[in-house]
Chain A
Amino acid sequence: MSGWLLVISLVVALAAVHRPFGDYIYRVVAHKKHNVVERGVYRVVGVDPAAEQSWGVYARSVLAFSAVSILFLYLLLRFQDRLWLSLGMDPVTDHVAWNTAVSFVTNTNWQAYSGESTMGHLAQMAGLAVQNFVSAAVGIAVAVALVRGFAGRRAGTLGNFWVDLTRIVLRVLLPICVLVTLVFMIGGMVQSLSGGTDVTTLTGATQHITGGPVASQEAIKELGTNGGGFYNANSAHPFENPSVWTNWLELFLIFLIPFSLPRVFGRMTGQNRQGYAIVAVMAVLAIASIALTVGFETHGAGTVPQAVGSAMEGKETRFGVSGSAVFAAMTTLTSTGAVNSFHDSYTSLGGMMPIVNMMLGEVAPGGTGSGLYGLLILAMITVFVAGLMVGRTPEYLGKKIGAREIKLASLYFLVTPALVLIGTAAAFATGNNATALNSGPHGLSEVLYAFTSAANNNGSAFAGITVNTGWWDTATGLAMLLGRFLPLVLVLALAGSLARQRRCPSPRARSRRTSRSSSAWSSA
């Protein structure tokens, strides 16, 4: 499939579903009634689903859940050899286990290990795959909490984290994954508990064909914008991405939730036009980025691509150059980080695009939830600047953007650039950049890519660099942890601050604001 056909068909499909699917998510998070399964979950968890949480309680619930998840996953990896289905794998080493636990809980899915030689099936399905679900749900829950802050007439509360988590997992993520897993299996993905099969090839060599619960993990890997591959080769591996049409479906899933959440925002605030404005910003940035990446890769500049005749190094025959470049752009426009080709061997400008996408803050359309809250904060800063220019008190959706709000929003934006710069500088200052595979400027790019990916919770890599050393695992682990939870707490604080404000009731004033914030968007 040529790159353009791929992009156009995805645009059409997403344009068709983002509204109805957004409406569906809206009903899930706004609905008052709990079904019988959910009530069972709340009873086991021991929470009152009717209890409304302030931003502080909501944040503490998120942090407690994440802390327990990191510890649980760490222990599961450390003791996998004593549990079932370890396939004879050793316990994961302490620094790799820490890095991996943080990585999957923060929705980064940076992989300092190689799945096929490190992880048993239990660690994959009961550890990593579970975090694929819940870390995505945490992102969506926090975005919804922020939107409740904008929409809030409820005296400072943001909803209930446990209810949001449970509903997003059970009513949004799981049903889609059930459907998609079946489709992926029809497409040829492996789904078994087998440790693999030794075969004798046509020329008499031995080859170990692996098994594993791959299809079920692949579905949530893309839908939750996680990106952690069952295998080291990720979505380039034929068992994770067997054909052109599974590739299409993976790309569709990566964009599905991030592009539908602005509709949820529009519905919850009662101003659908604001939702469309956000979708439009996301779409323009995304299409521009995809077009540039495909353009750079198919143009194939650089010595080796010129010698080869095309930029085919590190790419699969079935996807070709453009099918790979589209994936590279979309995986970094979101916080996915799955790859169907290896970015390290991209042309210089083609390899720059994933870094640019991540440094943009992954807001076009961004990760599940994190994309929406990132863009809403960008919107607040835009409205604030525009308000200063026309000399009015800045407001967005009837909420005043005052000193406290803008401080929180500014801090949000400073976290990841600071982490990227400090991390990269520290790697060079301590000589740990020496683990880069490539020499010269490209070695610098490998280090910069690593910290950009970790701090922005992406998880893709210029994979030539060796990152399973103690220093790298600790440093990227910290970058992922801080890059996830500092912004997340700041968002919730902001949500709490907005939720305490009363919304300006005047419809005339509101329409004026709407048009003003729309124009602020166009200058953004």
Chain B
Amino acid sequence: MRLPSWLAHHLAALRALLVMTVILGFAYPLLFVGVGKIPGLSGKAGGSLISVGQQTVGSSLIGQSFTDADGNPVPKYFQSRPSAGDYDPTATGAGNLGPEDVIDTPDRQSLLTQVCARSLAVGKLEGVDGSRPYCTADGVGAVLAVFYRDGFTGPVTRVVSVNQTGTPFVSTYQGVTVESAQAGEDYVALGGVITPIRGEAPADPVVPADAVTASGSGLDPDISRQYARLQAARVARERGVTLDHVRELIKKNTEGGVVNVLELNIALDGGK
């Protein structure tokens, strides 16, 4: 019996797919699962796990947070970058907010305010200036909704500091008194022109960029050398060791210009 050609095509297709699945879906990956058992490769294939004494404490490739149960930084440890997924390997990814996400809403903080708040917090923890461009002194985005008489032109009629319900970061804008925001009010819908204010902060802030931004994976194991150097004094003080000792360990745990935070902290604990 001869099959109709459309059926013959689909049967050939099914058989081809099954053959490919056996070769590419089983033989090929399983071969390398086997290769991954070879001593020398097995550590890496198993996830580059690190042990201190008897206990496995993490993976050298996967970042973790060094905070207490309340989410506050444990000061004897170097801190990792902010993470959109709280360093949970079962929920990886980024924050995904855009470069002009500057207005806080009742649902969530804007990316700008997140950056400002992180910068302020890191500045306070390290005892340095946490100010940044486009940030208020109380750590939110310095953003005004400016109302003009004729929409986008004409004299300014009203100004609101959209991210602040308390005292505005500037008292006047172009001669008009700046109001504080009412919670839940949408000033864009009312016709306000969103105007971020640069402010007086230095263009090169003391708190480095990686300290105030979330990574792509949410699992970034590294921080920049600048952020490590900034944290060195605090860690040395908390541990009662010399700054030179801490700097030496930073250097030892720097590879390709970035510092592996978990390995550095384990080295500080004397675990490895």
Contacts and interface: CB of A to CB of B under 8 A. Distances in A.
Interface stretch (B132-140, B153-161, B233-241): B132-140
A104 to B, nearest CB: 12
Interface string A342-382: 10111110010000000000000000000000000000000
Contacts of B224: 317
A221 B209 CA distance: 31
Interface string A448-482: 00000000000000111000000000000000000
Interface in A35-64: 41, 44-47, 60-61, 64
A314 interface: yes
Contact of B217 (A72, A199, A233): A233
Contact of A313 (B32, B36, B111): B111
Interface in A1-59: 1, 41, 44-47
B107 to A, nearest CB: 11
Contacts of B204: 309
Q: From DSSP, what is the main secondary structure of chain A's interface residues?
A: mixed
B209 A304 contact: no
Interface residues of B, number: 103
Given A199-B58, A313-B111, A442-B101, A237 B91 contact: no
A244 interface: yes
Contacts of A91: none
A308 B212 contact: yes
A312 interface: yes
A202 B90 contact: no
Nearest to A324: B216
Interface residues of A, number: 110
A416 B188 CA distance: 35
Contacts of A134: 17, 20, 24
A209 B58 contact: yes
Nearest to A40: B19
B170 interface: no
A126 B25 contact: yes
Contacts of A194: 46-47
Contact of B221 (A238, A306, A437): A238
A187 B64 CA distance: 21
Given A114-B93, A169-B20, A233-B216, 11 more contacts: A61-B13, A126-B25, A174-B24, A192-B33, A199-B56, A201-B66, A207-B88, A209-B89, A242-B61, A304-B99, A342-B96
11 contacts: A65-B16, A125-B26, A162-B16, A186-B41, A203-B67, A203-B74, A238-B220, A309-B203, A345-B95, A438-B98, A463-B96
Interface of A: 1, 41, 44-47, 60-61, 64-65, 67-69, 72, 114, 116-117, 125-127, 129-130, 133-134, 162, 165-166, 169-170, 174, 177-178, 181-182, 185-194, 196-197, 199-205, 207-211, 213, 215-217, 231-233, 236-239, 242-244, 301-318, 324, 339-342, 344-348, 351, 437-440, 442, 445, 462-464
- 10 nearest CB pairs, A to B: A236-B216, A464-B96, A302-B99, A126-B25, A233-B92, A342-B94, A233-B217, A238-B61, A317-B222, A442-B98
